[in-house]
Structure 1
């Protein structure tokens, strides 16, 4: 029996039930989930072990909350690297710069970053970067992990890269190159790194335990992530439908855009390495608590009761900016993920590849589990983090169980 800590407001008990069920039936090791509604926290739960190596049992391994065989327990302030959930956090920066009149979404990237115009990218627009239409999801020469995090080799490589399709004519998930595209654009416009901008303009004013570039003094709060196998679906559910092609199958082909996009850093970096966590990789390197993710998205869609000195009356996005974030820019077969995907400006939108709460939801999953989004129609913001990375890029079964339970609680 997992020892679940935290609270749920009346009516949101189905979310707690699904959270417990994830440990019992879906291979969860350590995780947290938080939900805000109309700026107020209604779910705040955590359980399991801080490190994935701690095992599948609850805190302490014996339900006592101690440091027994199950490893150090997940605490209220435990944070994890959230992989591509980071993309949704990073996307807020260019949208806020646009909101403040500092960045033209229809302007050419080369206006702000002249070196980027090389090799047929003269007409790439800022909105193409955010909607995965820029045509540079791959690097002809992958970067070593040490190069990927040094702030120099990544921007130089994407600036020199020739597009693999005519920019603006198709979309394909920029799994790693999104880091250097968005990060360098923000640096050119503001003179600050994107991690510093997020810290100064978003995380500190909102009181978020969220970092792009983890401070060394916060290392002790961060659990270790790692792969875990998802248990097979119960026979009673019947055969699982599979798409004609899957990202996993496409990844097996070393020449595919899928393999090349996810292999833009090679070999794959150690995501538990302190150097990786301290780097500012907007595509994959953010560290956050579940509460911070939910609170961040709550601030995108409406005021928070204690939001601090924000510029827009206690909220981050003005109504027009919120519309930009969740208006479809890309839809249909994804050149990298191969299944159909939907993107607004920087955010995945609700759809079969990444089901969120409803048609108006926007957010971003992280490969292997974590998920964060907002649903303006219901006033709900959601954050889920896990240390057990299961196979899959978008619709993780643990996150989806929580989303279904949240949907049921709202009906």
Structure 2
């Protein structure tokens, strides 16, 4: 195992021990973990390999793809506009983006975009990889598209279209792409090593992501694991797993843009250079923790979001609607499966790690996590280049549990 480097203040050794254990037990290849409290880092660790093939160590400036952890950064850009009075969450989207109103979407408020309730989790048009990377073809398709359900009555994770929908509203208000707004309003003032649209000169710092072996030998094992995690009877868990994550499910189509984004295409320079505000930020753990810390405290004299903004943006939204596609008799089983506020998951064990009852954040496929807690004024970031296809990633769960114990 490569050496673990970085900072651990006295009293925070438990987080460091948990981080090291992930390597000792073979659960991490290369990774970083950072904890901010009251605007300053108390844990900032990194280690392992950024590239196993090249035997390249994970350095202080290594960055990695963080998948849907991107969505938290995108939401912060939108809420910054809310805070300035430039964006009204209860206004119809067409106030800012008139063309969006086609096909029965004229009354959808902005808040339904941020809370995955707009009924647009997939793009109906079959676009090419080049079109998906070009932004405008996706926007034109979403403008013409009819919602999959009556907006505001159901919810379902908008895995990639979330970034296009929120990003286009931000673009209509500011005249700038979401990646540009993120760079100017968050990354630059906070000194982050984080990009939505990766500059070519940063490529040598990018860690190579590996896929860990699939942890289940059979579909039955996956169902059993899911049932145990959620406290469900296996006879209920089986149909629910098939509905949500079966090979032809809406969620699978949503996450791949109808199969266009896959293990091969997301490795291309064109994907990394394009802006996918729903899922292609590259960052390190320090930057993610610092970004979240700036929502709950001052960081070197800079505060991104004020307490009133944070309280409003973290109010739970999806408790008012049911998950799309789930039969009525299974709907109660999804109660704690997707607790979404306005762009952030609320702390709901075991699905979302909890730093405190008011904590919020966003995980990313493969294991990354950004989170904050207003009460303890904690910002947390974890990234890894060993992508694990478990239903609940134990690494971030255990690291945030260690943070809680240190706070106690």
TM-score, normalization by structure 2: 0.88
2:274 counterpart of 1:273: no
Partner of 2:347: 350
- Cα offset, 1:262, TM superposition: 2.2
Does residue 318 (structure 1) correspond to residue 316 (structure 2)? The answer is no
Which deviates further from its counterpart, 382-391 or 218-227?
A: 218-227
Match of 1:9 in 2: 9
Separation of aligned partners in 2, 1:320 and 1:215: 34
Shift of 1:258: 2.1
Structure 2 equivalent of residue 65 of structure 1: none
Tell me if structure 1 keeps the 8 A contact 2:2–2:49.
no
Q: CA contact under 8 A between 2:159 and 2:251: conserved in structure 1?
A: no
CA offset digits 1:175-224 (Å, max 9, x no partner): 01112101111111110011111111111011111111111111111112
Shift of 1:288: 0.6
Q: Distance in 1 between matches of 2:26 and 2:371?
A: 22
Secondary structure in 1 matching 2:343: coil
**Contact 2:32-2:382 at 8 Å conserved across structures:** yes
Higher helix share: 2
Q: CA deviation at 1:36?
A: 0.2
1:109 and 2:86 are equivalent in the alignment:
no
Which structure 1 residue ranges, 5 or more long, are not aligned? Answer: 55-69, 233-238, 308-313
1:50 to 2:19 alignment: no
Distance 1:358 1:26, change over 3 A: farther
Cα gap change, 1:336 to 1:190, in 2 (>3 Å): farther
Q: Are 1:229 and 2:213 matched, yes or no?
A: yes
- Residue aligned with 1:372, SS: strand
Aligned residues: 381
Distance 2:255 2:379 in 1: 29
Instruction: Decide which of 255, 279, 285 is 1:290's aligned counterpart.
Output: 285
Q: Map residues 51-130 of structure 1 onto 2, 5 A cutoff.
A: 51=51, 53-54=52-53, 71-130=55-114
* Alpha carbons 1:367, 1:392 under 8 Å: kept: no
Residue 341 of structure 1: SS of its match in structure 2? Answer: coil
4+ runs of 1 displaced by more than 4 Å? none
Assess if the C-alpha contact under 8 Å between 1:26 and 1:231 holds in 2.
no
Displacement after TM superposition at 1:245 (Å):
3.3
What pairs up with 1:159-170 in 2 under 5 angstroms?
A: 159-170=143-154
SS at match of 1:271: helix
- Structure 1 residues 266 and 144, CA, compared in 2 at 3 Å: closer, same or farther? farther
Shift of residue 254 of structure 1? 4.5
1:335 aligns with 2:316: no
Alignment correspondent of 2:367: 369
Question: How well do the aligned residues superpose, as a CA RMSD in angstroms?
Answer: 2.1
CA distance in 2, matches of 1:230, 1:291: 29
Offset at residue 354 of structure 1 (A): 1.3
The Cα offsets for residues 68-109 of structure 1, whole Å up to 9 and x where unpaired, read as: xx7100001100110000000000111111111111111100
CA distance in structure 2 between the partners assigned to 1:144 and 1:250 by the alignment: 27
Unaligned 5+ runs, structure 2: 217-223, 231-235
Partner of 1:213: 197
Equivalence for 1:391:
389
Aligned counterparts of 1:294 and 1:103: Cα–Cα separation in 2: 26
Q: Are 2:255 and 1:262 equivalent residues in the alignment?
A: yes
- More deviation, 259-268/319-328: 259-268
Shift of 1:264: 2.1
Q: CA deviation at 1:26?
A: 4.8
User: Which one has more relative contact order, counting CA pairs under 8 Å at least 6 apart?
Assistant: 2
1:332-357 superposed Cα distances (whole Å, 9 cap, x missing partner): 75337984211111111101321221
